[in-house]
Amino acid sequence: MATGPGALRLEPLIGNPSKELLSGLVVAFAMIPEAIAFSGIAGVDPQVGLFGAFCLSITIAFVGGRSAMITSATGSTALLMTGLVATGEARGPGLGLTYLLVAGIVTGLLQVLWGWMRLAYQMRFVPLGVLSGFVNALALLIFQAQFPQLGINLHFGEASAAGHGHDALPQAAQLPLIWGLVLLGLLIIYGLPRLTRAVPSQLVAIVVLTAISMGFNFDIPTVQSLGSLPAGLPVFQIPFGALADGRVPFSLETLGIVLPTAMAISLVGLMETFLTQDILDDRTDSTSNKNREARGQGIANIVSSFFGGMAGCALVGQSVMNIDNGGRTRLSTLFSGVSLLAMILLARPWLQQIPMAALVAVMISIAVSTADVAGLRRIRSIPKSDTAVMLMTFAVTMLTTPHNLALGVLAGVALAGILFSRKVAKVIRVEPVDIAPDLRRYVVTGQLFFVSKIYFLQGFDVHEHPAKIIIDMSAAHIWDQSGVGALNQLIRKLKQGGSEVDLVGLNTESLDLFERIGSQPEGSHG
């Protein structure tokens, strides 16, 4: 490797060019069928997902906050688009896509706003259990999505709902051949690294299986079975204008139609992006800026929408694939988009012949690498509360219809918050000290808020009434209105019993809250 100041400056930018380019190429192969399928979920033409994948990858390579992360059209965001597209089509033929593009622009503006307001840092509160449940659910969903191509249909109608046409699904007579190709692909993917890591094993598997399929003229589903590929470059287009021209007016009415969908896409997209960001940071032992990533995702979604592509977010599976194949810099992200478009435009005849079996093998390997296997092995040793959070995230994701990763994450975070509150609540202690026959001192230690107030009140004997009672809050902190209310309730009961109550030791923040919400008792002091 070259040495010197110039080389040191270039290394973080381009890394190892050969690995970066090959990794981007492998990722591009995996993005094509998914982009087409996600277009079907949203109810738009395949080129909308493909153009979105291209524009998002190219743009995020320059403006993103996390190197080597792959951004494209995704299933979670596509699911949120279905209702808006249907609403648009009901207003006029072709308006579904137009409203979708407007929603993508608004989505991008909102994400830029989240990043500019530095709200992305709030993601640091997502517990590890939620992250583990998220990636395990995602891994299972990726694996489960391959079942129709293997002749396994556990959920009737799921294939069509995911945008797969009838021709994309194998016939019974084709299954032995497909299974054989998938197994050969997995053998190459996991066996080749034992011999050499010079070339990504996923790419070799795709090339070998495609060559076999074309050489023997196998009659099996291919990429072409998923839908037609675009024949030209994406064109800049402004979705605002006259309805007669297939556009929508630039008005508050249009904003009211697209805003709910745009808000949902922006939040769900950022949630999945940040979780993907955390996974890659952990795998590469590095850090990245979430606020910059939010702004970058927003800009990318705006660009994609103006070029006829759907909005999206980071892809966990492809991002992990990129990292595992040696991608470390923005060059791999950039080349994934360039390769995607090049393959679509220049290699359509060959690209269309890639057997779905090859892509199934690649996606199965992605599912395996995405899963948090280490976390599952430690499930008996980690705290039960963390296990419960992980299982909640996983269960909600898998049991919702359609599978909703965002809802699973929200459920996991909510449960983690409840369990944490209970733990903190039990930490609060009240120790009575009889200083004199007519003088009792209660020393409070811990956090007083809506959950701990019960344990706080239970620490006082409101049935005995010495002449004077001192409540020492020097080692305690009041957090909310419930805490103030509990303290006021206690003081009132003690005074009703005939005791003089003296409240001491409140810190500045607690005292300010107590004075604003409650009423400081006579004779108290901080």
Residues 6+ apart with CB under 8 A from 366: 30, 142, 317, 318, 320, 321
pLDDT at 449 over 90: no
What is the predicted pLDDT for the residue at 520? 45
Q: What's the distance, CA 8 to chain centroid?
A: 34
pLDDT at 13 over 60: no
Name the pTM for this structure.
Answer: 0.70
Measured CA to CA, the distance from residue 40 to residue 158 in angstroms comes to: 12
pLDDT at 360 over 70: yes
Ranges of each domain in the chain? 48-127+236-353, 378-425, 428-517
The residue among 133, 400, 348, 387 whose CA lies nearest residue 232 is: 348
Higher pLDDT, residue 241 or 166: 241
Residues 6+ apart with CB under 8 A from 377: none
pLDDT at 3 over 50: no
pLDDT at 419 over 60: yes
Average pLDDT over residues 292-319: 94
Measured CA to CA, the distance from residue 384 to residue 403 in angstroms comes to: 25
Q: HSE-up of 492 (CA within 13 Å, CB side)?
A: 8
350 with 198: CB under 8 angstroms?
Answer: no
What is the predicted pLDDT for the residue at 471? 95
Q: What is the CA radius of gyration of the chain?
A: 29
Average pLDDT over residues 49-59: 94
pLDDT at 167 over 90: no
What is the predicted pLDDT for the residue at 59? 96
pLDDT tens for each residue of 456-466: 999 999 888 89
Measured CA to CA, the distance from residue 23 to residue 321 in angstroms comes to: 8
Q: Which two tokens mark 310?
A: 């759907």
Higher pLDDT, residue 409 or 160: 409
pLDDT at 208 over 70: yes
Query: Of the ranges 153-167, 231-245, 360-374, 431-445, which one carries the lowest mean pLDDT score?
Result: 153-167
Average pLDDT over residues 412-440: 85
Report for 105-114, 157-166, 274-283, 418-427: range of highest mean pLDDT: 105-114
Q: What is the mean pLDDT of the chain?
A: 84
Phi, psi angles (nearest 5°) of residue 209: -65, -35
Angle (CA) 187-314-158 rounded to 5° is 65
The residue among 350, 337, 347, 345 whose CA lies nearest residue 232 is: 345
Angle (CA) 347-348-353 rounded to 5° is 105
Q: What is the DSSP letter of 240?
A: B
Architecture (CATH level 2) of domain 428-517: 2-Layer Sandwich (3.30)
pLDDT tens for each residue of 263-292: 888 887 888 898 888 889 888 888 888 899
Measured CA to CA, the distance from residue 110 to residue 507 in angstroms comes to: 39
Which amino acid, 142?
I
The residue among 162, 139, 201, 182 whose CA lies nearest residue 34 is: 162
